[in-house]
Amino acid sequence: AQKITQTQPGMFVQEKEAVTLDCTYDTSDPSYGLFWYKQPSSGEMIFLIYQGSYDQQNATEGRYSLNFQKARKSANLVISASQLGDSAMYFCAILNSNSGYALNFGKGTSLLVTP
Protein backbone atom coordinates (compact mmCIF):
# COMPACT_ATOMS: atom_id res chain seq x y z
CA ALA A 1 0.00 0.00 0.00
CA GLN A 2 1.10 3.52 -0.73
CA LYS A 3 1.39 6.09 2.03
CA ILE A 4 2.26 9.77 2.11
CA THR A 5 3.58 11.57 5.19
CA GLN A 6 3.68 15.32 5.55
CA THR A 7 5.18 16.13 8.93
CA GLN A 8 4.75 19.93 8.91
CA PRO A 9 1.19 20.89 9.84
CA GLY A 10 2.00 24.59 9.44
CA MET A 11 4.78 26.70 7.99
CA PHE A 12 5.54 30.42 7.87
CA VAL A 13 7.66 32.18 5.30
CA GLN A 14 8.36 35.81 4.54
CA GLU A 15 7.47 37.20 1.19
CA LYS A 16 10.21 36.76 -1.44
CA GLU A 17 11.91 34.02 0.57
CA ALA A 18 12.10 30.36 -0.47
CA VAL A 19 10.35 27.61 1.48
CA THR A 20 10.53 23.82 1.44
CA LEU A 21 7.53 21.65 2.23
CA ASP A 22 8.39 18.10 3.20
CA CYS A 23 6.88 14.92 1.82
CA THR A 24 7.97 11.33 2.38
CA TYR A 25 6.30 8.35 0.84
CA ASP A 26 6.13 4.61 1.06
CA THR A 27 5.26 2.37 -1.85
CA SER A 28 5.96 -1.13 -3.08
CA ASP A 29 5.45 -0.21 -6.72
CA PRO A 30 8.63 -0.27 -8.82
CA SER A 31 7.35 2.72 -10.79
CA TYR A 32 5.24 5.47 -9.30
CA GLY A 33 4.19 9.07 -9.68
CA LEU A 34 4.08 11.89 -7.16
CA PHE A 35 1.94 15.02 -7.32
CA TRP A 36 1.70 18.26 -5.40
CA TYR A 37 -1.60 20.14 -5.21
CA LYS A 38 -2.39 23.54 -3.74
CA GLN A 39 -5.67 24.25 -1.99
CA PRO A 40 -6.30 27.96 -1.29
CA SER A 41 -8.90 29.08 1.22
CA SER A 42 -11.48 29.14 -1.59
CA GLY A 43 -11.26 25.33 -1.58
CA GLU A 44 -10.35 24.28 -5.11
CA MET A 45 -7.56 21.80 -5.79
CA ILE A 46 -4.87 23.19 -8.08
CA PHE A 47 -2.26 20.91 -9.67
CA LEU A 48 1.27 22.24 -9.21
CA ILE A 49 3.87 19.71 -10.22
CA TYR A 50 4.47 16.03 -11.05
CA GLN A 51 7.49 13.80 -10.51
CA GLY A 52 7.83 10.32 -11.99
CA SER A 53 10.02 7.82 -10.19
CA TYR A 54 12.09 7.20 -13.31
CA ASP A 55 12.33 10.80 -14.48
CA GLN A 56 15.95 11.67 -15.05
CA GLN A 57 15.63 15.17 -13.64
CA ASN A 58 13.83 16.75 -10.75
CA ALA A 59 10.63 18.42 -11.88
CA THR A 60 10.34 22.18 -12.14
CA GLU A 61 7.35 24.41 -12.96
CA GLY A 62 8.00 28.11 -12.73
CA ARG A 63 8.62 28.95 -9.06
CA TYR A 64 7.91 25.35 -8.01
CA SER A 65 10.54 22.64 -7.98
CA LEU A 66 10.82 19.20 -6.50
CA ASN A 67 13.74 18.01 -4.44
CA PHE A 68 13.29 14.34 -5.28
CA GLN A 69 15.48 11.91 -3.38
CA LYS A 70 14.44 8.44 -4.43
CA ALA A 71 16.67 6.53 -2.02
CA ARG A 72 15.26 8.52 0.90
CA LYS A 73 11.71 8.27 -0.50
CA SER A 74 11.22 11.99 -0.24
CA ALA A 75 9.73 14.49 -2.67
CA ASN A 76 9.94 17.91 -1.08
CA LEU A 77 8.32 20.91 -2.76
CA VAL A 78 10.41 24.05 -3.00
CA ILE A 79 8.65 27.35 -3.62
CA SER A 80 11.02 30.12 -4.56
CA ALA A 81 10.35 33.85 -4.16
CA SER A 82 7.20 33.32 -2.07
CA GLN A 83 4.22 35.54 -2.77
CA LEU A 84 1.25 36.41 -0.55
CA GLY A 85 -0.93 34.40 -2.91
CA ASP A 86 1.04 31.25 -2.07
CA SER A 87 -0.69 31.11 1.33
CA ALA A 88 -2.68 27.88 1.13
CA MET A 89 -2.76 24.21 2.05
CA TYR A 90 -0.33 22.05 0.10
CA PHE A 91 -0.89 18.35 -0.45
CA CYS A 92 1.55 15.73 -1.59
CA ALA A 93 0.00 12.67 -3.23
CA ILE A 94 1.08 9.42 -4.84
CA LEU A 95 -0.64 7.47 -7.57
CA ASN A 96 -2.26 4.29 -6.30
CA SER A 97 -1.99 1.64 -8.99
CA ASN A 98 -4.33 -0.62 -6.99
CA SER A 99 -7.22 1.85 -7.08
CA GLY A 100 -7.52 2.91 -10.68
CA TYR A 101 -4.62 5.32 -10.33
CA ALA A 102 -6.43 7.36 -7.74
CA LEU A 103 -4.34 9.58 -5.50
CA ASN A 104 -3.30 8.79 -1.93
CA PHE A 105 -2.93 12.14 -0.21
CA GLY A 106 -0.93 13.27 2.79
CA LYS A 107 -2.62 15.37 5.47
CA GLY A 108 -1.22 18.55 4.04
CA THR A 109 0.88 21.52 5.14
CA SER A 110 -0.62 24.93 5.75
CA LEU A 111 1.66 27.65 4.43
CA LEU A 112 1.32 31.27 5.48
CA VAL A 113 3.31 33.89 3.61
CA THR A 114 3.84 37.08 5.61
CA PRO A 115 4.69 40.54 4.26
Q: Which is nearer to other proteins, 78 or 89 (CB)?
A: 89
Closest distance between other proteins and the C-beta of residue 63, in Å? Answer: 17
Q: Is 39 exposed, middle or buried (0-12, 13-18, 19+ CB in 10 A)?
A: middle
Report yes or no: 87 and 112 within 8 Å, Cβ to Cβ.
yes
- Could you tell me how far CA 88 lies from the centroid of its own chain? 12
* CA gap 56, 53 in Å, rounded: 9
Q: Which is nearer to other proteins, 19 or 92 (CB)?
A: 92
Structure letter (DSSP) for residue 85: G
Q: Which residues bind other proteins (CB under 8 A)?
A: 4, 31-33, 35, 37, 43-45, 47, 50, 52-53, 91, 93, 95-96, 99-108
Q: Which is nearer to other proteins, 27 or 82 (CB)?
A: 27
Closest distance between other proteins and the C-beta of residue 99, in Å? Answer: 6
Closest distance between other proteins and the C-beta of residue 53, in Å? Answer: 8
